[in-house]
Amino acid sequence: MTKKFKSGFVGIVGRPNVGKSTLMNHLIGQKIAITSGKPQTTRNQIRTVYTCEEGQIIFLDTPGIHKAENKLGEYMDDVAYETLAQVDVILWLVEPSAFSGAGEKFIASKLKLTGKPVILIMNKVDTVDKSKVPEYMQMYRKLYPFDEIIPVSALRSVNLDSILEAIFERLPEGPMYYDEETVTDQTQRTIASEIIREKALRCLKEEVPHGIAVEILSMKERVRRAGKNRRGAGSEEADGPVLVTDGAAESDIIWDIDAVIITEKDSHKGIIIGKGGSMLKRIGTQSRIAIEEMMEAKVNLKLFVKVRKDWRDNAGILRNLGYDPKQIR
Ligand SMILES: Nc1nc2c(ncn2[C@@H]2O[C@H](COP(=O)(O)OP(=O)(O)OP(=O)(O)O)[C@@H](O)[C@H]2O)c(=O)[nH]1
Ligand SMILES: [Mg+2]
């Protein structure tokens, strides 16, 4: 007898920087959500799809739950709480530690209200003495009636099969929500802007990264004929006419992307641009390479920087940046 196809939604929640996005990327085997060593990297819900013979899991990555200090922070927390209502199973990610504080107790109180199965994922076990892990797990066991506790290393893809197994055990029989080829609900435009934000987050230090946003001003595809019409990427003629070719082998696709990095302070604008434009160039080059990989095409990226004071507290700007208007307080 063939097994029934299972499917459902799985929320990945926890405090900032515990590795939620890293885990989701490694579970589906593709980099979709951006990650960084700085907290509050993820700002919106990001859906990805894992399909296999047994069924389909739709993962919902969420912003880290934290004490909000502006409208954007409130938005991020609300997205995480809302996600809890949309899922069948919850993965709560924590770092391995013998200590749990007010932040963990707060999350536990939110989870309790859902009445849904909660699996504790103790991530980053590669960073601690293995013999300590059972003790840490025991501590968490006292905090919440978890359905299961699974120690993993998302970054090194250790023990991730146990997560998939634990999820499928708890998912109902269900339909295929997305076709087999679908990996995410994110548009290429959104992913491109997120890639630029990731590179900026990784290149910039201290308080600068938290105050940035990235907006794609335009993103256009161009097919160029190889040979004498060919122009180098980054040419001044990036807005030139679309050249249609009749042979794919003879042509290559170029994406012309104009994007702006929005920052809160004039002083930060200077840091983002860097001496003689060096920092912006570094962010631009790293972004272009990553976007080219994602688009499987050449990219001509132009980056600008603009100051928008207190944009994180401005509902209009947040809406323009694509944050869900229904969720902005
Ligand atoms: N050593 C180690 N580092 C990890 C592991 N998983 C994630 N990290 C690192 O932890 C940092 C945070 O990872 P993210 O995936 O961005 O964390 P997040 O929980 O999504 O963070 P927010 O989006 O800010 O809430 C990054 O530097 C990751 O490389 C792991 O298993 N081991
Ligand atoms: Mg994240």
Give residue 2's pLDDT: 66
Pick the CATH number of 188-327 from 3.30.1300.10, 3.90.1300.10, 3.30.300.20, 1.10.10.10: 3.30.300.20
CB neighbour list of residue 225: distance below 8 Å, 6 or more residues apart: 243, 245, 250, 251
The whole-number mean pLDDT for each consecutive block of 10 residues of the chain, a chain of 329 residues, reads 88 98 97 95 97 97 97 97 98 94 95 97 98 96 96 98 98 96 94 97 88 96 67 39 39 90 95 96 97 94 96 94 88
Q: C-alpha distances in angstroms, 31 versus 195, 294, 324?
A: 10, 9, 23
CA of 253 to the centre of ligand 1 (A): 34
Domain residue spans of the chain:
6-170, 188-327
Cβ atoms 123, 25 nearer than 8 A: no
Give residue 224's pLDDT: 79
Angle at 109 between CA 103 and CA 111, to 5 degrees: 105
> Could you tell me the two tokens for 229?
């019409």
Pick the CATH number of 6-170 from 3.40.50.300, 3.40.50.150, 1.10.3720.10, 3.40.350.10: 3.40.50.300
Q: Is the CB of 45 under 6 A from ligand 1?
A: no
Query: In this structure, which residue's CA is closest to atom 10 in ligand 1?
Result: 19
Q: Is 320 helix (H, G, I), strand (E, B) or coil?
A: helix
**Residue 256: φ, ψ to 5°:** -95, 120
Give residue 207's pLDDT: 79
Q: C-alpha distances in angstroms, 173 versus 10, 36, 137, 163?
A: 14, 36, 31, 18
* DSSP percent split of the chain into helix, strand, coil, nearest 5: 40, 25, 35
Give residue 209's pLDDT: 84
Q: How many CB atoms lie within 10 A of CB 11?
A: 27
Which residues are bridge partners to 79 per DSSP?
none
Give residue 67's pLDDT: 96
CA of 19 to the centre of ligand 1 (A): 3
Give residue 237's pLDDT: 36
